[in-house]
Amino acid sequence: MKHRIERLNALLKEELGKIFLKELNFENSIVTIMEVKVSEDLLNAEIQINVIPFSKLNETADVLRQNRNRLRHLLMKKINIKQIPKLNFEINKHQTEGNSRIEKFFKNDKIK
């Protein structure tokens, strides 16, 4: 059963990443899926998200909250399992130092 959960974690991460790119609009921010953890009973999935710039955190959380059911519906079309887990998004607040370095890099004039 453990291998099944690991495969489902990877599959959900991949498919949600594709859906984020095509279906959701995160204005002026970069949203990445850091990790997906599906519960042992396969009913819940905790998705850890990283947001750059950190100032867009609340806007991103609102977009995810508003589209939670739509995301499950889109996953049902892509993944052939009996029940799609309930999606619980958690914004990764521990990477603020790394995010600030990345934000400085993007603000730098070297990128055109």
Structural domains in the chain (count): 1
Cβ atoms of residues 33 and 20 within 8 Å? yes
Cα separation values, 40 from 5, 7, 24, 43, 68, Å: 7, 13, 29, 8, 21
Residue 75 is predicted with a pLDDT of 94
Residue 112 within any structural domain of the chain: no
**Counting Cβ atoms within 10 Å, is residue 97 exposed (0-12), middle (13-18) or buried (19+)?**
exposed
What CATH number does the domain containing 57 carry?
A: 3.30.300.20
Residue 48 within any structural domain of the chain: yes
11: Cβ–Cβ under 8 A, 6 or more apart, which residues? 79
Domain span holding position 13: 2-107
Q: Beta strands of 1-112 (E only): which ranges?
A: 30-38, 44-52, 86-91
Q: pLDDT tens per residue, the chain (112 residues)? A: 678 899 999 999 999 999 999 999 888 888 999 999 999 999 999 999 998 888 888 899 899 999 999 999 999 999 988 889 999 999 876 655 555 666 666 666 554 4
Residue 24 within any structural domain of the chain: yes
Residue 19 within any structural domain of the chain: yes
Return phi, psi of residue 42, to 5°.
Answer: 65, 20
